[in-house]
Amino acid sequence: MKISDSILYVGVNDHKVDLFEGQYVVPNGMAYNSYLIQDEKTAVVDTVDAGFTDEWLKNIGNIVKCKAPDYLIVQHMEPDHSASIADFINAFPQAKIVSNAKAFTMMENFYDVDLEGRKIIVDNGDTLSLGKHELTFVFAPMVHWPEVMVTYDSTDKVLFSADGFGKFGANDVEEEWDDEARRYYIGIVGKYGQQVQNLLKKAAALDIQTICPLHGPVLNDDLGHYISLYNTWSSYTAESDGIVIAYTSVYGNTKKAVEILAEKLRSKGCPKVIVHDLARTDMALAVSDAFRYGKLVLATTTYNAEIFPFMREFIDHLTERNFQNRTVGLIENGSWAPLAAKIMKEMLSGSKNITWLKNTVSIKSGLKEANLNQIEKMSDELCKDFIAKSEEMANKSDLTALFKIGYGLYVVTSNDGKRDNGLIVNSVTQLTDSPNRVAVTINKANYSHEVIKKTGIMNVNCLSVEAPFKVFQTFGFQSGRDVDKFAACEHDNRSDNGLRFLAKYINAFMSLKVDQYIEWESHGMFICSVTEARVMSDRDTMTYTYYQNNVKPKPQTEGKKGYVCTVCGYIHEGELPDDFICPLCKHGVADFEPIEN
């Protein structure tokens, strides 16, 4: 297989393996990828599992013929990628081995190889010229071993990504990438989200057109999709709307409770309900689903004053992989001393940003009427945001939405007759409650001011503390005159006035009709009546202070001289002209402060 005119695939497919790393079910086998770069000098990137050495060497020989490879680049020392190093050395005695110091130490620990005079030890950022091809080595420690590095070929714009962007499954089997890549990532790399984030930041500076991983297919179409998923997974952000129920049941009573809950969740608008019987399911898939979706219900029995073993194993898998940023509910069962809920909660006590449901289901042996009421309340709590998004089921007169107003940050949405628009504001105030009147103040330079003044309607979306920085980039750092701010939005949720409201990252929204307009020097105040109000979740409102402390990226000012924008973190090096406008957020010099090192 040709990756480019001068880069070829020399890896192998393994259909003998049934459990990868002794625990992950791989019904479609595994691929052990290796690549060969032909130039004035020839380099092979990584080797393969010991069971396929002969096939791999034959693949190389069929390409190089009489011209032996000059280099073997070792990016990762796991045996499925390094087990054929000794055979390569014997087959090509003139070739040099290129790797980093940690990898060479591990090489000598793993294999009895004589590397005297054959080592090329590289450091982070070092390069190797093959002729036309210039390779740069980028260290990626703990993605997912300490010696890992990736290699970038600036000529063909190829990233050899080691275990990054890998998946389960042989390459001669056609299947969707996302599911098996997710299961692979969560199971094997999931603990090291911060390290993957660090690597993604390094990769963002490179012009990458092809990704060549050590497992799974070569990626060269829609790279944004794969990179976006890796960013989601490594930041421990929910990928999809839905609820996972993971349970164990001895005599069927806990199972029955789970079945009742699942049916209620589906009837109340939950877009996806996934149920895993932990005694029978693929544990790796159950763990992967727990990370994929935003809400999780754990249901199990008290067992020997503990919890059922499969549930303990499941929670151990979650905590080992830094499970966080999720909503979790608990169902317990116990005949004389139910302890399961307490133990499960303790096991997850070290997990960050877990929102515990207020309603817990506690069963004593068999289901009773009280348990059915508990399940009903739990389903209501779990589906609150789904119900609020629903055209049919939403309470559109929930004026407790007004309680969400604080000195916070909001996205005001509007429509100019051709497309939807939105902007970030921090001046929304409830004026009166009888009748309900809300004031929204907007800078007259903003396009939304012009649109709302013309149309007389708007929606105010109350951002919650879940809102990531990309929301502020989308709605605050660009103008609706120039871009479609909803172009990348996959949801098209609308209120009764026909305007968009955000499907995610808000705790409430209000539809407003302009009753009065007051003009000031730089701003206009719209005094409005409330025509619709919905509460989406119980998450706290995003305040300006919370945004500054927890959401806005900290600017990297070390060693730099100049000014930094206090709104978006943009750094301007050198003197700041009086008429300077931030190229990111469009704020002026008043919002810049000197860099102090």
Confidence of residue 549 (pLDDT cuts 50, 70, 90): confident
- The answer to whether the beta carbons of residues 13 and 55 sit under 8 Å apart is no
Number of H helices, E strands in the chain: 16, 32
Average pLDDT value over all residues in the chain: 93
Predicted confidence at residue 107, as pLDDT, reads 93
Q: What is the DSSP letter of 426?
A: -
268 burial type by CB count under 10 A (0-12 exposed, 13-18 middle, 19+ buried): middle
Percent pLDDT > 90 in the chain is 80
Confidence of residue 168 (pLDDT cuts 50, 70, 90): very high
Considering only CA atoms, which of 136, 114, 230 is closest in space to residue 177? 230
Confidence of residue 593 (pLDDT cuts 50, 70, 90): confident
Q: What is the pTM of this model?
A: 0.80
Which of 59-64's residues contact partners 24+ apart within 8 Å by CB, and which partners? 59/10, 59/11, 59/12, 59/34, 60/10, 60/36, 63/8, 63/10, 63/36, 63/38, 64/36, 64/38
Other beta carbons within 10 angstroms of residue 333's beta carbon come to 30
Is a pLDDT exceeding 80 seen at residue 407? no
pLDDT digits (tens, 9 = 90+) for 204-238: 889 999 999 999 999 999 999 999 999 999 999 99
d(CA 468, CA 368): 42
Predicted confidence at residue 304, as pLDDT, reads 87
The upper half-sphere exposure of residue 465, i.e. CA atoms within 13 Å in the direction of its Cβ, equals 13
Is a pLDDT exceeding 70 seen at residue 372? yes
431 burial type by CB count under 10 A (0-12 exposed, 13-18 middle, 19+ buried): exposed
pLDDT digits (tens, 9 = 90+) for 572-588: 988 888 888 888 777 78
pLDDT digits (tens, 9 = 90+) for 273-288: 999 999 999 999 999 9
Q: Which residues contact 222 (CB under 8 A, 6 or more apart)?
A: none
Over residues 551-556, the mean pLDDT reads 83
User: What amino acid occupies position 584?
Assistant: L
Is a pLDDT exceeding 80 seen at residue 370? yes
24-38, 43-57, 106-120: range with lowest mean pLDDT:
106-120
d(CA 279, CA 258): 15
Confidence of residue 91 (pLDDT cuts 50, 70, 90): very high
d(CA 221, CA 139): 25
The DSSP secondary structure of 572-594, one letter per residue, reads EES---TT-B-TTT--BGGGEEE
355 burial type by CB count under 10 A (0-12 exposed, 13-18 middle, 19+ buried): middle
390: its two tokens? 């629903």
567: its two tokens? 């709104």
Over residues 96-113, the mean pLDDT reads 93
Is a pLDDT exceeding 70 seen at residue 597? no
Is a pLDDT exceeding 80 seen at residue 406? no
Predicted confidence at residue 76, as pLDDT, reads 95
pLDDT digits (tens, 9 = 90+) for 299-347: 999 988 889 999 999 999 999 999 999 999 999 999 887 899 999 999 9
Predicted confidence at residue 217, as pLDDT, reads 96
Q: What is the DSSP letter of 374?
A: H
Predicted confidence at residue 401, as pLDDT, reads 86
The DSSP secondary structure of 3-17, one letter per residue, reads SSSSEEE--EEE-S-
- The answer to whether the beta carbons of residues 151 and 206 sit under 8 Å apart is no
The DSSP secondary structure of 445-485, one letter per residue, reads TSHHHHHHHHH-EEEEEEEBTT--HHHHHHHHSS-TTTS-T
Predicted confidence at residue 317, as pLDDT, reads 97
In degrees, rounded to 5, the angle at the alpha carbon of residue 545 between the alpha carbons of residues 540 and 549 is: 100
- The answer to whether the beta carbons of residues 426 and 410 sit under 8 Å apart is yes
Predicted confidence at residue 335, as pLDDT, reads 84
Dihedral sign of CA atoms 578, 582, 587, 591 in order: negative
Considering only CA atoms, which of 241, 214, 244, 210 is closest in space to residue 227? 210
Is a pLDDT exceeding 80 seen at residue 47? yes
pLDDT digits (tens, 9 = 90+) for 431-469: 998 889 999 999 998 999 999 999 999 999 999 999 999
- The answer to whether the beta carbons of residues 274 and 231 sit under 8 Å apart is no
pLDDT digits (tens, 9 = 90+) for 248-276: 999 999 999 999 999 999 999 999 999 99
Grouping H, G, I as helix, E, B as strand and the rest as coil, residue 493 is: coil
Considering only CA atoms, which of 317, 307, 472, 508 is closest in space to residue 400? 508
Over residues 535-564, the mean pLDDT reads 87
User: What amino acid occupies position 319?
Assistant: T
pLDDT digits (tens, 9 = 90+) for 74-87: 999 999 999 999 99
Is a pLDDT exceeding 90 seen at residue 414? yes
Give me the torsion for CA of 98, 102, 105, 111, rounded to 10°.
-60
Is a pLDDT exceeding 80 seen at residue 93? yes
Confidence of residue 560 (pLDDT cuts 50, 70, 90): confident
Other beta carbons within 10 angstroms of residue 504's beta carbon come to 19
User: What amino acid occupies position 387?
Assistant: I
d(CA 46, CA 164): 14
